[in-house]
Structure 1
Amino acid sequence: MISDVDCTRLAMPSGSEEPRRDADLKRKAWTAVFLGSALFWIVVALLIWRFWG
């Protein structure tokens, strides 16, 4: 069972601990966001072209 001290430590890490961010994961996440956005707008453009073209 988790004690109250452990719960507090998990919820609020001390100021000396820096959050670790994986640069590769961050790059992959931004790439996924960019590609998802590009795919969405390509589909929108194709639908507009199909209905109005």
Structure 2
Amino acid sequence: MRLAMPSGREEPQREAELKRKAWLAVFLGSALFWVVVAVLIWKYWG
């Protein structure tokens, strides 16, 4: 029965880890987008 109920300490840690990974993915995706935009601008005007 104990295994079915997650402990109060475990759940927020997992949620914090998920939030950190989500923000990392957002920042990496944004950085990749701007790198692609910069390269396209460079090739267009260069």
Q: Same fold (TM over 0.5)?
A: yes
Tell me the residue number matched to 1:25: 18
CA RMSD of aligned residues (A): 1.2
* Length, aligned pairs only: 34
What is the percent sequence identity of the aligned residues? 74
Q: Specify which structure has the higher proportion of helix.
A: 2
- Unaligned segments of structure 1, at least 5 residues: 1-19
Cα deviation 1:4-51 (Å, max 9, x = unaligned): xxxxxxxxxxxxxxxx65000000000000000000000000000001
- Take 2:44 and 2:34, find their aligned partners in 1: how far apart are those partners? 15
Task: Confirm whether residue 49 of structure 1 aligns to residue 45 of structure 2.
Answer: no
Instruction: Tell which structure's C-alpha radius of gyration is larger.
Output: 1
Query: TM-score, length-normalised on structure 2?
Result: 0.69
Query: TM-score, length-normalised on structure 1?
Result: 0.60
